[in-house]
Amino acid sequence: MKRVWMVCAVTLAIIFFVPFFLPDEAEEKSGMDVTTLHIALWDYDMVSYDKAVIEAFETSHPNIRLEVHSFNSLYYESSLESLLISDTAIDVIYVNQLPQLRLLKKYDFPLPLNYYIQRDSLDMSSYLAPEVFRDPVSEQYLGLPYRNDRFLLYYNKTLLDTLGIPYPASPISWDAYVDYAGEVAAAMSERGMEGKAVFLFDSPGHQMCYALGSPFSFKEDSFELLRPGLETFRTMQENGMSTDLTEMDRIEGMQQMFSSGDYAMMLNGNWEMNMLAKGFSGKQAAFAWGVTDIPRTDINVPITAELWQSPLCINKHSTKVEAAWEFLKFACGPNGGEIMAEHLVLPGYQSPAVLNAYKEALGKYGVDSTLCLEFGAVSQVPSSEEYALQNDIYDLYERALLGLDSIGESIAAMTALRDSWNSGP
């Protein structure tokens, strides 16, 4: 009897414990060592396209696995900095905003890519503005474009249909937009609806892009150009048309609030279409939605849409550079481009085939693809000094948005700050 129990015990031990010490099944089948890349990005579980690209890459490259380190988009830059000064071995970093490339350069992170681009004859002509990622001194590419963006006006068709209000005109001036938002807000109030006519982000950079409709030079342009936008956003808050920014306090889940269906309109980047169509964490928006161009100061003057690019960079100190380069070529090339297009995200790689896939995907939702494909300017990587000035200006802009300073006081403070910055120490 003891022998029987002994045999049973040994058998169970083999069944339950030995698998933990056996080679990975994929590695065993392929007969190759498996390389694990560590990558840093944001909001991985909220959107669908990053996961789709990564899963497709792992399927086509069974000898390479990707371990994702995901952070909240609101705190991504501070999370990146903590990551860069830690001992965590990150091989690839997704850059959310261009100033983060400045941060990577500060920590000597980006691998120069010219050798790999030339060696593999990478087609750079399918990227709109890859020169943004070239170091001005070495002329080395420090990243490849992964995602392109611009700002749009989203509206909740289901809510507007319920109110019996036509969809927003296109083009529409800011004055007409404020009047329209007032009409929607009044109709929502009469029906006792929750939510607001307009959802605004607590993000000065976004607000400035919305209001100007063209790039703004923090070093040269008059801050009086910001007055109409500040007056517009203050008016909408004070009259109950939009979310009150004093209550936002950079709340968790801010990106998801429009998809709740409680808001009639929102200004945001074209990445929002992925979230509405494919869903936050796999949950699609439960209402019909539409997209049009952002309001403008003069409907007879076209908007100069600014191209925002998000690149991928390789850690120059990585011991897995070749595997990381294979991933960049896939994610930032035709394979990743077609996957992103199917998920309603504008890829950095824009060959005719990828663009056709993108237009076809947008067409299923009734979206005019020209809204997302026309750009008049390209966002640049700021220097460390410019970035510091930009952040200080944002702080003053936000004080005016929140009503802590008058608009005139804020503009005067911005001007004085820049004068001091230009005069040097």
Q: How confident is the model at residue 3 (pLDDT cuts 50, 70, 90)?
A: very low
Q: What is the pLDDT of residue 17?
A: 33
Q: What is the pLDDT of residue 200?
A: 84
Q: How confident is the model at residue 287 (pLDDT cuts 50, 70, 90)?
A: very high
411 & 300 share domain: yes
Q: What is the pLDDT of residue 16?
A: 30
409 & 271 share domain: yes
13 inside domain: no
297 & 199 share domain: yes
* Mean pLDDT computed over 377-383: 88
Q: Indicate the burial class of 108 (C-beta count within 10 angstroms; 0-12, 13-18, 19 or more).
A: exposed
Does the pLDDT of residue 10 top 60, yes or no?
no
8 inside domain: no
* Mean pLDDT computed over 260-282: 86
Q: How confident is the model at residue 253 (pLDDT cuts 50, 70, 90)?
A: low
318 inside domain: yes
Q: Is 111 within 8 Å of 139 (Cβ atoms)?
A: no
Q: What is the pLDDT of residue 29?
A: 44
H-type alpha helices, 256-367: 272-277, 321-331, 334-342, 352-363
Strands 92-94 and 35-42: parallel
- Token representation of residue 171: 């083009």
* Mean pLDDT computed over 290-312: 91
Q: What is the pLDDT of residue 205?
A: 83
Q: pLDDT tens digits, residue range 125-146?
A: 999 999 999 999 999 999 999 9
27 vs 314: which has the higher pLDDT: 314
Helix (H) or strand (E) holding 413: helix 407-423
Q: What is the pLDDT of residue 278?
A: 83
Does the pLDDT of residue 345 top 60, yes or no?
yes
61 & 186 share domain: no
3 vs 92: which has the higher pLDDT: 92
8-state DSSP, 381: P
Mean of per-residue pLDDT scores for the chain:
88
Q: What is the pLDDT of residue 142?
A: 97
Does the pLDDT of residue 294 top 80, yes or no?
yes
Q: What is the pLDDT of residue 213?
A: 82
Give the separation between CA 209 and CA 187, rounded to whole angstroms: 28
78 & 168 share domain: no
323 & 209 share domain: no
99 & 130 share domain: yes
278 inside domain: yes
Q: pLDDT tens digits, residue range 150-176?
A: 999 999 999 999 999 999 999 999 999
State yes or no: cis peptide before 166, omega within 30 of 0: no
- Token representation of residue 102: 């400045």
Between the ranges 231-245, 268-282, 335-349, where is the mean pLDDT highest?
Answer: 335-349
Does the pLDDT of residue 102 top 80, yes or no?
yes
Q: What is the pLDDT of residue 203?
A: 80
12 inside domain: no
Does the pLDDT of residue 26 top 50, yes or no?
no
H-type alpha helices, 239-349: 245-248, 272-277, 321-331, 334-342
Q: Which domain, by its residues, includes 59?
A: 30-148+309-378
Does the pLDDT of residue 7 top 50, yes or no?
no
Q: How many domains does the chain have?
A: 2
SS3 for 419? Answer: helix
Q: What is the pLDDT of residue 124?
A: 96
Q: In this predicted structure, which of 7-16, 257-266, 308-317, 334-343 has the lowest mean pLDDT?
A: 7-16
CATH number (domain holding residue 321): 3.40.190.10
248 & 315 share domain: no
Q: Find where tokens 């209001």 sit.
A: 211
Q: How confident is the model at residue 24 (pLDDT cuts 50, 70, 90)?
A: very low
Task: Tell me what percent of the residues of the chain surpass a pLDDT of 70.
Answer: 89
243 & 346 share domain: no
138 & 184 share domain: no
Q: How confident is the model at residue 60 (pLDDT cuts 50, 70, 90)?
A: very high
